[in-house]
Amino acid sequence: MGGGGPASEAVSREVLIREVGAQGDGVDASGLFVSLTLPGERVRARCVEGRGDLEEVLEASPERVPAPCPHYGVCGGCALQHWAEAPYRLWKVERVRQTLARARLEAPIELAFAAQPGSRRRLALHARRRGREVALGFKARRAWTVTPISACLVAEPALVAALPALSALAAPFLVSPKSAPTLHLTLTETGIDCDVTGVERPGPTADARSQIAEIAARADLARVSLAGEILYQARPAVVRFGAARVEMPPGAFLQATAGAEAAMVRLACDWSRGADRVADLYCGLGAFSFGLAAEASVLAAEVSSAAVAALARAQGSSAGLKPISAQARDLDRRPILAEELKGFDAVVFDPPRAGAAAQSAQLAKSHAARLIAVSCNPATFARDARTLVEGGYRLERVAVVDQFLWSPHIELMALFERPFR
């Protein structure tokens, strides 16, 4: 594990942990971060440059539990497996509360969804050559090396079962010493979809491509692509949003956990109930759009033209829904203007981690009665929420969505309302 500096500078000492920081590390009174620790614990850690690697727990917290994964502590994922469920979930809620408080915001906060083991349908696995073997797994804790995995307790069982075949699949992509393939996996209704990035040009040779197709066929993968270019396809990669069956373009965004997606769509529909016209901004493949279209006409906007085309095709075969008008538009460079939102009763917006600064400035000027924010980054959400509140909206409630089990990553939804005027 990386120590952050030369080994000669490291000091082993006792540390009293006061709290858990934003990245899931324990923090002492001096601001030292120690991985894999909990509040109230006295530990011995190897410390250098403000960070510590846990060596020994001297006095354990009553909230500490045995970590169930064989790769815990070496693999860079699941940094909070050692924390009992109730305080771990409460910590996520409190992190949101603290982030809002720093932006002078407050609202009722609830835990709306809690992912369980074996539910993650998306994984990003890294491949590296080790002699004649291929190491396939996750980045090691605080290091760039890859930890090969034989199990993953958060992943869907079908993805775990495919790990041996995926290791074989990675080998033909290691075309040069500089190649560092990442296999982006999605478990779809029609099987596993694999989009590979990080391969040096010109990419796999003709022989390697033939080998990729043979391995994918033996493993019964739905599709394999290289940075969006389809190399092998047995059948389209299909995801379902309510009654809609969407053929997912290679590399398209999808929520990591199907249960979390369903919970968020339910919230969006509940919070927008009664609306006749709804805008779904940063709509992706249409998870929210198709749910909202059961009761309202929808304007859907997304930067990816491939995602918009997939949404439009799926709409044509989805009976019983109100119209969805989809457009490819970069909302960071060309946000939907407040004037364009005239006549819309509600807006749902689900930006990437950088948030929606430009779009929020326009939403703050709009007259939509309700705004529903979805965010994977509480810090940029708080910034955008401040913009909306200063524009006259009221933050009514916040729902924490814990779809990344045992991770410090936090997803949330929030409802804003404009007081009648």
pLDDT given at position 334? 97
- Helices 206-218, 163-170: axis angle to 10 degrees equals 170
**Residues with active-site annotation:** 376
Q: What does the H/E/C string look like for the chain?
A: CCCCCCHHHCEEEEEECCEECCCCCEECCCCCEECCCCCCCEEEEEEECCEEEEEEEEECCCCECCCCCCCCCCECCCCCCCECHHHHHHHHHHHHHHHHHHCCCCCCEEEEEECCCCCECEEEEEEEEECCEEEEEEEECCCCCEEECCCCCCECHHHHHCHHHHHHHHHHHCCCCCCCCEEEEEEECCEEEEEEECCCCCCCCHHHHHHHHHHHHHCCCCEEEECCEEEEECCCCEEEECCEEEECCCCCCCCCEHHHHHHHHHHHHHHCCCCCEEEEECCCCCHHHHHHCCCCEEEEEECCHHHHHHHHHHHHCCCCCCCEEEEECCCCCCCCCHHHHCCCCEEEECCCCCCCHHHHHHHCCCCCCEEEEEECCHHHHHHHHHHHHHCCCEEEEEEEEECCCCCCCCEEEEEEECCCC
pLDDT given at position 421? 53
pLDDT given at position 300? 98
- Summarised one tens digit per residue, pLDDT across range 134-162 is 999 999 887 778 999 999 999 999 999 99
Asked whether residue 243 carries a pLDDT value surpassing 90, the answer given is: no
CB 117 within 8 A of CB 152: no
- Summarised one tens digit per residue, pLDDT across range 188-220 is 999 999 999 999 888 899 999 999 999 999 999
Q: Give the model's confidence band at 319: pLDDT under 50 very low, under 70 low, under 90 confident, else very high.
A: confident
Mean pLDDT of 227-252: 95
Segments making up each domain of the chain, as ranges: 7-64, 90-116+256-417, 122-239
Asked whether residue 328 carries a pLDDT value surpassing 50, the answer given is: yes
Looking at CATH, the fold of the domain delimited by 7-64 is given as OB fold (Dihydrolipoamide Acetyltransferase, E2P) (2.40.50)
Distance CA 343, CA 368 (A): 8
Looking at CATH, the fold of the domain delimited by 90-116+256-417 is given as Rossmann fold (3.40.50)
Mean pLDDT of 256-274: 97
Mean pLDDT of 360-384: 98
CB 321 within 8 A of CB 290: yes
- Identical fold between 7-64 and 90-116+256-417: no
Q: What is the CATH number of domain 122-239?
A: 2.40.50.1070
Distance CA 238, CA 236 (A): 6
Mean pLDDT of 54-68: 97
- Summarised one tens digit per residue, pLDDT across range 72-90 is 999 999 999 999 999 999 9
Mean pLDDT of 372-399: 98
Q: Which amino acid belongs to residue 372?
A: I
Asked whether residue 381 carries a pLDDT value surpassing 80, the answer given is: yes
Q: Give the model's confidence band at 318: pLDDT under 50 very low, under 70 low, under 90 confident, else very high.
A: confident
Asked whether residue 175 carries a pLDDT value surpassing 90, the answer given is: no
